[in-house]
Amino acid sequence: MLEGIYDGFLLLMNANTIMFIIVGVIAGLIIGIIPGLGGVIGLVLMLPFVYKMDPATGLIFLLAFHAVTCTGGSITAILLDVPGTLSNAATLIDGFPMSQKGEGDRAIGAALTSSMLGGIFGGVVLAVLIPLIRPIVLLFGSPEIFMMMLFGISFIAVLGRGSQIKGLISGSMGILLAFFGYATIAGVPRYSFGTLSLYDGFELIPIVLGLFALPEVLDLVTTGGTFAKVPPPAVKGKRFSLTAGTIQGIGDVFRHWMLFLRSSVIGTIIGIIPGVGGETAVYVAYGQAKQASKCKDEFGKGCIEGVIAPESANNAKEGGSLMPTLGFGIPGSTGMAILLGAFFIMGLEPGPLFLREHIDIVWSLVYTLIGANILGALICIVFAKQLSKVSFVRGHILAPLILICCLIGAYAPTNSIMDLMWMFVFGVIGYAMRRYNYNRPALVLGFVLGPEVERYLHLSLKAYGPLFFLKPIALILLILFIVVLAYNPIKQAWNRRRMTKGGLGYER
């Protein structure tokens, strides 16, 4: 293992590779910032470039690209209430209200710092656990994954932003929508009305673009105004200097270092589990941040903790998801699936043999992950002031541009025009949800997790019978989750008892 540490470093130390890392990071940031073009589509678009490169350089480029897309995407989520990539979907919950209040640069500062440190955390954990990759991934079977997802989905109740019933309505809608389409557990398409377009059900990206981006575009078209509802702060100083807000945001991450650590751990663990995607990690991180926070009522209205948690998790998860990918050739996330394809095309084959024969490439990927995260965040911070100006651009210029990005973004994943139509349908639904105060992130959460919970429950029952939750790790997870979820209600009830007992004694 240790020989690889030095050799991996050597692989990076040539001008060609470094140049590709820089290009990869810049490309990743740009693709991340553009709504609709994040994550998987971005990687697919990069694949043709990679064929001509030699294996190590090509993989380093792809990883550098992929590692920073959710760093760039946080900016769009905060400034425009539209997630730049799917992993930024929880960042907008508190990020956008902050930018509405004029605190956009503070949110961006915090998001970028969390992203950078979270990415480093994930990379370091990956490095430390390289010898243990295989045993760890093998620990998580269907029962364990089911427990994790159940936990994730329970956060629908916690996501904040609005009334409880409406939140549950949104979440249930999301879950129901996900049931449309091919049901893996039985091999039949559900509710497809005989059409091929719905055979696979709805695609996530057109839904997210429709729900979040189109209502904003409609606003821009209607008023021609800007996103930010407060006038641009009169900022003095050099063009690339940091604003006071950005510096405050950077400091916030260090002030909330326990939160950062917890969120990064969550992100990494969820990344390690193959099958549970990155979208889950951000919601779980957000949810636990709210649970543990002393000012949980602020969540949803612009609380900095609600930005730090998901952004740490979504970068940390990349380090985690490299573990099953490299150790087993089993992708830890959809992005990793594409990366894996690139591995094969280059004649490399992740797996136990790979960990032994190409340990230098493994280490070079670890360094790339850490380096790309640092570089990406630094580039963004330097340009933070410029980037936050986006929310002050005239609506009538921004609207057609965002709309065009959405059109391409909805079409690109499946080359399907029908997905454009669904995007518009969800645009109408999204507008209504926004207008009537229904929680849109909850719908996305339900959509992402719903069918997976069903699937893993089915697999757990079939493989282990009804007592599957008694398997050691699953049981531990179950107990942990009950404790975490029940903690707050029990604490409140306990406090109430203490108050009445202690005899403040007023009647209600």
Partner 1 sequence: MKGRIGFLIFLLIFPAIVYFHLPKYSFEVNLWPTVMGTVLLVLVVAQIFKEPRLKSEEQCISIDTGKAMEQRTFRQLIVPALWIIVTFPMVYILGFTVTIFLYSFLYIRLHKQSWIASIVIPAVTTGVVYFIFIMTLKFRLYEGLLFRFM
Partner 2 sequence: MKRFVFVALALVLVFGLVFSGCGGSSVKMSPEEFYKGKTIRFIIPYGTGGGYDTWGRMIAPYIAKHTGAANAIPENISEGAGRVGQNMVYNDKNADGLMVALTGADEMAMSILLGNTEGMEFDWLKFAWLGRVTYEDAVLLANAKSPFTTIEGLVNAKTTIKAGGHEKLAAQLAGACLTASALNLNVKAILGYAGSKETTLALQRGEVDIATMSGASAVKLVGDEVKAVFIVGETRMPALPNVPTIFEAAKAANIPVTDEGAKFIKLWYTTRVLMRELFAPANTPADRVEFLRDAVEKMMNDPDFKAEVNKAKYETQYLRGDAAQKMAKETMDSLKSVNMAEFKKVLLEKYYK
Among 5, 47, 124, 408, binds partner 2 (CB under 8 A): 47
Q: What three-state secondary structure class fits 189?
A: strand
Task: Give the binding site for partner 1 (CB under 8 A).
Answer: 45, 48-49, 81, 96-97, 100-101, 161-162, 165-166, 168-169, 172-173, 175-177, 179, 183, 185-186, 188, 190-191, 214, 217-218, 221-224, 229, 300-302, 394, 396-397, 399-401, 403-404, 407-408, 411-412, 415, 417, 420-421, 424, 427, 432-437, 439, 450, 454, 458
Give the Å distances, CA to CA, from 397 to 81, 157, 171, 224, 360.
18, 38, 34, 8, 48
Binding mask 186-205 for partner 2 (x = CB under 8 A): xx------x-xx-xx-----
Q: DSSP of 95-136, one letter per residue?
A: HHHHHHTT-HHHHHHHHHHHHHHHHHHHHHHHHHHGGGHHHH
Local structure of residue 212 (DSSP, 8 states): I
Partner interacting with residue 383 (select from partner 1, partner 2, none; CB below 5-8 Å by kind): none
User: CA 166, CA 139: separation in Å to the nearest integer?
Assistant: 37
User: CA 258, CA 320: separation in Å to the nearest integer?
Assistant: 19
Site for partner 2 in 125-144 (CB under 8 A): 137-138, 141-142
Which among 13-21, 247-255, 301-309, 322-330 is the span making contact with partner 2, rule CB under 8 A? 322-330
Partner interacting with residue 393 (select from partner 2, partner 1, none; CB below 5-8 Å by kind): none
In the bound complex, what is the minimum distance in angstroms from residue 292's beta carbon to partner 2?
Answer: 32
491 burial type by CB count under 10 A (0-12 exposed, 13-18 middle, 19+ buried): exposed
The answer to whether residue 351 forms part of the interface with partner 2 (CB under 8 A) is yes
In the bound complex, what is the minimum distance in angstroms from residue 216's beta carbon to partner 2?
Answer: 26
User: CA 285, CA 250: separation in Å to the nearest integer?
Assistant: 19
Partner interacting with residue 468 (select from partner 2, partner 1, none; CB below 5-8 Å by kind): none
Which of 93, 94, 87, 50 lies closest to 72, judged by CA? 87
Among 207, 338, 379, 380, binds partner 2 (CB under 8 A): 338
The answer to whether residue 415 forms part of the interface with partner 2 (CB under 8 A) is yes
For partner 1, the closer CB: 55 or 162: 162
For partner 1, the closer CB: 354 or 411: 411
| Number of Cβ atoms within 10 Å of the Cβ of 86 | 23
| Number of Cβ atoms within 10 Å of the Cβ of 371 | 22
Site for partner 2 in 449-508 (CB under 8 A): 455, 458-459, 462-464
Contact status, residue 439 vs residue 167, Cβ threshold 8 Å = yes
In the bound complex, what is the minimum distance in angstroms from residue 426's beta carbon to partner 2?
Answer: 18
Partner interacting with residue 337 (select from partner 1, partner 2, none; CB below 5-8 Å by kind): partner 2
Which among 12-20, 160-168, 177-185, 423-431 is the span making contact with partner 2, rule CB under 8 A? 177-185
In the bound complex, what is the minimum distance in angstroms from residue 276's beta carbon to partner 2?
Answer: 11
The partner residues of 182 in beta bridges, in order of sequence, read: 189
Torsion (CA) 198, 202, 205, 206 in degrees, nearest 10: 70
Q: What is the 3-state secondary structure (H, E, C) of 328-346?
A: HCCCCCHHHHHHHHHHHHC
Torsion (CA) 35, 37, 39, 44 in degrees, nearest 10: 180
Binding mask 371-410 for partner 2 (x = CB under 8 A): ----------------------------------------
Look at the block and give the residue holding tokens 């990927």.
Answer: 365
User: CA 353, CA 331: separation in Å to the nearest integer?
Assistant: 17
Sign of the CA dihedral 408, 409, 414, 417? Answer: negative
For partner 1, the closer CB: 206 or 319: 206
Please tell me the count of residues contacting partner 2 according to CB under 8 A.
46
For partner 2, the closer CB: 164 or 415: 415
In the bound complex, what is the minimum distance in angstroms from residue 195's beta carbon to partner 2?
Answer: 8
User: CA 185, CA 174: separation in Å to the nearest integer?
Assistant: 19
For partner 2, the closer CB: 7 or 200: 200
The answer to whether residue 57 forms part of the interface with partner 2 (CB under 8 A) is no
For partner 1, the closer CB: 81 or 279: 81
User: CA 155, CA 289: separation in Å to the nearest integer?
Assistant: 11
In the bound complex, what is the minimum distance in angstroms from residue 50's beta carbon to partner 2?
Answer: 11
In the bound complex, what is the minimum distance in angstroms from residue 268's beta carbon to partner 1?
Answer: 30
User: CA 356, CA 354: separation in Å to the nearest integer?
Assistant: 5
Site residues, partner 2 (CB under 8 A): 40, 44, 47, 51, 137-138, 141-142, 182, 184-187, 194, 196-197, 199-200, 274-275, 324, 328-331, 337-338, 340-341, 344-347, 349, 351-352, 414-416, 418, 455, 458-459, 462-464
